[in-house]
């Protein structure tokens, strides 16, 4: 948990971005590393669900794509709570895992990667306008657990936003209508995040800065072998107990990232 109310208030004072107070949509996808990367992505889903639980936030997995052998190729979570996006925004980037692979019969060390991409949820339906003619909507049978009829009818929904090429899907709700509404909500959140990134790029250009395309850059390493440590490469914060971190105790990294945030990054 954040250490105390005074410190929490101090952190929230730094969360002054236009969307920091909002709920969040969190996309997690496996990167390089094959089955190990798919398993790593699933481990990260659990880590963020546990983090949300620690803070009393409501978190729900709304879509998952299973891996070929184990784990997941991708997942989308909604996290509802005060400043959920402001906190999770600091987690954007590539997370690296080093361990002895449980999928390797020779017990060799494996390095895996997964991408974490948070977006702010839409509060006003008119905030992002999406024209019906710009959407391609497909339905299919859900592959996840659900009610009696979930896997028998085409309740799952996939929406493609033709102008941007963005594709979102939802299969965890009980009806096609609910899945469509949730998928559209996620699409609008991603379009809003795209707008935010474009604005930040324009501001950086006006300041004469050369900013790296760091949305997918490696931000943190979780080393389970030959030693144990979790190190944040942006702030230098290290925690020697990866088990505790993977159980959702990531506040030290979030707090340090917020403290290192430049004033213009919060405005």
Q: What is the pLDDT of residue 198?
A: 83
By residue range, what is the domain housing residue 76? 5-266
Mean pLDDT by 10 residues, the chain (267 residues): 56 79 95 94 98 96 92 95 95 95 92 93 83 94 53 80 93 87 91 83 60 58 96 96 98 92 53
Number of domains in the chain: 1
3-state secondary structure at position 10: helix
Distance CA 44, CA 77 (A): 11
What pLDDT is recorded for position 215? 37
pLDDT for the residue 8:
62
pLDDT tens track for 128-173: 889 999 999 999 887 654 444 444 578 899 999 999 999 999 988 8
CATH number of the domain enclosing 36? 3.30.70.1660
What pTM was computed for the model? 0.82
pLDDT of residue 12: 64
pLDDT of residue 69: 92
The predicted pLDDT at position 11 comes to 64
Whole-angstrom distance, CA of residue 194 vs CA of residue 200: 10
Nearest to 110 by CA among 224, 247, 218: 224
pLDDT at 264: 47
Secondary structure (DSSP) of 126-186: TSS---GGGEEEEEE---S--STTTTTTT-EEEEEETTTTEEEEE--SSSHHHHHHHHHHH
CB 183 within 8 A of CB 209: no
């Amino acid at each position: 948990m954040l250490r105390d109310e005074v410190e929490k208030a101090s952190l929230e004072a730094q969360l002054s971005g236009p969307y920091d107070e909002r709920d969040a949509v969190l996309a997690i996808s496996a990167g390089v590393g094959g089955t190990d990367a798919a398993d790593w992505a699933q481990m990260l889903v659990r880590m963020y669900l546990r983090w949300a639980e620690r803070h009393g936030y409501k978190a729900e997995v709304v879509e998952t794509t299973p891996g070929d052998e184990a784990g997941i190729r991708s997942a989308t979570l909604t996290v509802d709570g005060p400043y959920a996006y402001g906190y999770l925004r600091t987690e954007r980037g590539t997370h690296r895992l080093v361990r002895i692979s449980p999928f390797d019969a020779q017990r060799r060390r494996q390095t895996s990667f997964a991408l974490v991409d948070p977006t702010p949820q839409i509060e006003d339906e008119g905030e992002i306008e999406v024209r019906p003619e710009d959407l391609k909507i497909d339905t299919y049978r859900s592959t996840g657990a659900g009610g009696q009829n979930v896997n028998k009818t085409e309740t799952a929904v996939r929406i493609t936003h033709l102008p941007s090429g963005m594709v979102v899907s939802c299969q965890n709700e009980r009806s096609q209508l609910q899945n469509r509404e949730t998928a559209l909500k996620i699409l609008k959140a991603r379009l809003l995040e795209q707008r935010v990134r474009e604005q930040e790029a324009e501001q950086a250009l006006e300041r004469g800065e050369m900013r790296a395309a760091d949305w997918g850059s490696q931000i943190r390493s979780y080393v389970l072998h030959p030693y144990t440590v979790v190190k944040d490469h942006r702030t230098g914060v290290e925690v020697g107990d990866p088990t505790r971190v993977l159980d959702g105790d990531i506040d030290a990294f979030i707090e340090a990232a917020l403290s290192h945030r430049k004033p213009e990054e919060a405005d």
